[in-house]
Structure 1
Amino acid sequence: MIKPEERQLVHQFILLEMAVKSLQHDYDTLGNLKMAKVYIRIVDDLLKVIRSDYYNNKRMLAKQKIEVIKWVHIDQYFSDVVVKNPGEDVVLRYAKQALKTQVENLIFNYLKEISHNTNTKQ
């Protein structure tokens, strides 16, 4: 059984992983935009901060011997995430649209943080 605080850590890890993958996926298309240099710099800054948190989160999970093993596509609305923890594997079901919304909110929060840090340095 996975403890509530561990489940929250796994959930945060999943959001960070999806944010990194989404930004990397979209990165290649930024070169086609008129203001490509601006957008590429923003995404680079975002990826730097999000990757740092992602790897820190991954290390914290590893210390607790918890690992996200795989994603299992259920249908167009749901996916299962198989999580290995000491003693047993746990399957967590996620609604895809809810995850997408949470990843978008996570990225917006990071953008606000980066913007705030940039404004306070000036």
Structure 2
Amino acid sequence: MGSLAGGVGARRPRFLCLHGFRTSGEIMRKQVVGKWPAEVTARLDLVFADAPFPAEGKSDVHGIFEPPYYEWFQFDKGFTEYRNFDKCLAYIEELMIKEGPFDGLMGFSQVTRLGSPLP
């Protein structure tokens, strides 16, 4: 297994971190940085972004984490039709251009549906 130690001045791997459905970048930051070993997070450059759309309904984390809450796109009850999916992809591509380059993408929940169409 390789070492995570990197030399002096070594560039840390940079990851774009995309939160789950009706949460936020700040919530994901608290979940990751607060739970992962500090030895790991100190060696990574984690960029936590908020989704482009305010949540249209109640968040499952309401009462655990404070708002605001966001969603990446919207869908019907059967999960067969999506709204704003193209706008979401364009938003993430813009994030990648403005905040990148990135070495990887970390996503949770709703955002896992986005991974394959991204460049």
TM-score above 0.5: no
Higher helix share: 1
Question: Structure 1 length normalisation: TM-score?
Answer: 0.25
For the pair shown, which has the larger CA radius of gyration, 1 or 2? Answer: 1
